Structure 1
Amino acid sequence: MQTNPFGSIQNMSDLTVTILMPCLNEAETLAFCVRQAVAALRDNNVAGEVLIADNGSTDGSQQIAVDEGARVVAVPVRGYGAALLTGIENARGKYVLMADADASYDFGHLPRFLAKLEEGNDLVMGNRFSGEIKPGAMPPLHKYLGNPVLSFIGRLFFGIPVRDFHCGIRAMRRDAVLALGLRTTGMEFASEMVVRSSLAGLRLAEVPTTLSPDGRTRAPHLRTWRDGWRHLRFLLLYSPRWLFFYPGVITFVVGLVISLLLIAGPLTIGRWTFDVDTLTYALGLVLIGAHISVFAVSAKVFGTQEGFLPPNPKFERVFKVINLEVGLIVGCVLLLAGAVILGYALHLWHAAGFGNLSPQTMLRLTLPSATCFMLGIEAIFGSFFLSLLGMNRR
């Protein structure tokens, strides 16, 4: 049993929403935020609670929260994500509305989030760009570069219909979010929640919201470049397709096309002549592209095994066809091709009495031969490694 902010007694299962705020030394603004949250519950006749996930405050924030009618849960692990995840785990409402305790978000917007959740959405994001960003509330670097670019990357990589990836106010169905198994403890938790929700097939929606200037006199916990990089790094790591596969395939194809054009002889375009020097770098691109592509498949298999990437039926079908045995055959064919080309080069050298030969002629044989050898070794040992990674999947 629990006492809600209005003084009545309710069963825990009857609570509709928990309003959750992460807290680390927020004494200046916490009382205002808790009062606003309590008023939002009372004015809209919503059964709920206000929960403060305290990350080790030393300014008396815990007592302020209790005095204002909130419940406090201590979070020993430092970090924005750690505080929110612990708060979600300890929430008693069916839904959780989270927002910062710095007076920058309006808890009075609770009804618009609940309405979207009641429509069947699992995660409802606030959108400051479709709502209002008050003067001085967001630094220009965040407003015109950071948030738009990172949100665009999120939509591009994951096809997520969210235009404000990092809005600090959002609401969720508690059981659906807990089932995701979120892991990050820092500021990138905001990205992880959206990405993992999308990958898991949860329903996402957005509602306009307002961002006001931070009500605190101290500097915010957010660090522009550090936390921006952490968000970008997370987006890249959760998308092996964009981090490895596309760059690998493009690099391989470009190198292969250039190599095929130069194998027969020099290529002249205008006043530019491309010869074996260019061929050397082109074959290098082929090798680099092959390496990166192996990383792409390895990352996908590992991510699926560890549970932070969802199974992909198309990938599973390809993995069944291109298995260890196929990889070994491809590797052996490449080794054989390299040996044949090398044998022809030795034949030409023998025909010349093992004397001097045209460097350009021989490099057009030895470079492709060495490339085939390296690709063959890559295919054989890469196939064994991928088979090892995928053993538990079978």
Structure 2
Amino acid sequence: MWFSVDVVLPCLNEAGALPWVLDRMPSGYRAVVADNGSRDGSPALARKRGAIVISVPERGYGAAVHAGLLATNAEVVCVCDADASLDPAQLPRLVDELLAGRAELVLGRRRPTSPRAWPPHARLGNSIVAGRLRRRGVPVRDLGPMRAARRDDLLRLPVADRRFGYPLELLLRASQAGWRIVEIDVDYRPRVGRSKVTGSPLGTARAVRDMSALLAGLR
């Protein structure tokens, strides 16, 4: 069956959030849950709600997103976190910008709905890494865990990272390819459960260190 938009949801133990996320999926948008080894019943829960579920044995955010992308068949592909921090109902705003021809990559720039949604340490870490991207010519203020692009375009980008650095490399490669990158404000809610990367100040510091080292090594 053909869908107008496929939505890749990288997933690792998100059973508490998936019902809300999947219930908020817009009409004509198909959820593709790329499960990265969940042990909390997330895959079965997603299937019951009509999502396509693929198992991704290779651990890492980038591995899950890339496997999900390969499993899609729509012209337009979105990516959205599966932790209920982002509202899939806002995806059409990104897709409309893409289909209007104003960009090749549209990012959801996070706007917190409450102080709990984006702890200061995580927000600062994002700002530091985004600033380093801007110095490389990438016009972004946020690393954009919600995004939309055409499937064929994404598959042509030489993104090699299969772990947490995937969004960073994606943005750099898109900029190097001459893509127009646009940010659209989206709501950012408190996530369900704890972040696997920036859930603490120490975790954020490590993520900033590792992402900065990764960016320095990308050419």
Which residues of 2 match residues 174-253 of structure 1 at below 5 A?
Answer: 174-216=151-193, 219-222=194-197, 223-239=203-219
Alpha-carbon shift at residue 167 of structure 1 (Å): 2.3
In 2: Cα distance, 1:190 partner to 1:156 partner: 16
Q: State the secondary structure of the residue aligned to 2:24.
A: helix
Matched pairs, number: 213
Alpha-carbon shift at residue 133 of structure 1 (Å): 4.4
In 1: Cα distance, 2:164 partner to 2:76 partner: 22
CA RMSD between the two structures: 1.4
Q: Which runs of at least 4 in structure 1 moved beyond 3 Å after TM superposition?
A: none
In 1: Cα distance, 2:155 partner to 2:90 partner: 24
Q: Indicate conservation of the 8 Å contact 1:188/1:227, yes or no.
A: no
Q: Indicate conservation of the 8 Å contact 2:7/2:79, yes or no.
A: yes
Alpha-carbon shift at residue 208 of structure 1 (Å): 0.5
Q: Indicate conservation of the 8 Å contact 2:125/2:205, yes or no.
A: no
Aligned counterpart in structure 1 of residue 36 of structure 2, from 47, 55, 58: 55
In 2: Cα distance, 1:56 partner to 1:35 partner: 22
In 1: Cα distance, 2:177 partner to 2:10 partner: 25
Aligned counterpart in structure 1 of residue 141 of structure 2, from 163, 185, 209: 163
In 2: Cα distance, 1:227 partner to 1:133 partner: 24
Give the structure 1 partner of residue 200 of structure 2: none
Aligned counterpart in structure 2 of residue 114 of structure 1, from 82, 95, 109: 95
In 2: Cα distance, 1:125 partner to 1:102 partner: 18
Alpha-carbon shift at residue 152 of structure 1 (Å): 1.1
Q: State the secondary structure of the residue aligned to 2:130.
A: helix
Structure 2, unaligned stretches of length 5 or more?
A: 198-202
Q: Per-residue displacement from partner, 1:117-141 (whole Å, max 9, x unpaired)? A: 112222101112xx44422011111
Q: TM-score, normalized by length of structure 1?
A: 0.52
Cα 1:133–1:236 change in 2 (3 A) is farther
In 1: Cα distance, 2:78 partner to 2:4 partner: 10
Q: TM-score, normalized by length of structure 2?
A: 0.92
Give the structure 2 partner of residue 68 of structure 1: 49
1:17 partner letter: V
Higher strand residue share = 2
The structure that has the greater radius of gyration is 1
Higher helix residue share = 1
Structure 1, unaligned stretches of length 5 or more?
A: 3-11, 240-394
The structure showing larger relative contact order (alpha-carbon pairs under 8 Å, at least 6 residues apart) is 2
Identity %, equivalent residues: 36
In 2: Cα distance, 1:149 partner to 1:225 partner: 11
Q: Indicate conservation of the 8 Å contact 1:191/1:231, yes or no.
A: yes
Give the structure 1 partner of residue 18 of structure 2: 30
Give the structure 2 partner of residue 81 of structure 1: 62
Give the structure 1 partner of residue 131 of structure 2: 152
Which residues of 2 match residues 252-331 of structure 1 at below 5 A?
Answer: none
* Alignment of 1:135 onto 2:135: no
Q: Per-residue displacement from partner, 1:53-84 (whole Å, max 9, x unpaired)? A: 01111111111000011000111100011000
* Alignment of 1:104 onto 2:85: yes
In 2: Cα distance, 1:220 partner to 1:149 partner: 18
In 1: Cα distance, 2:93 partner to 2:112 partner: 15
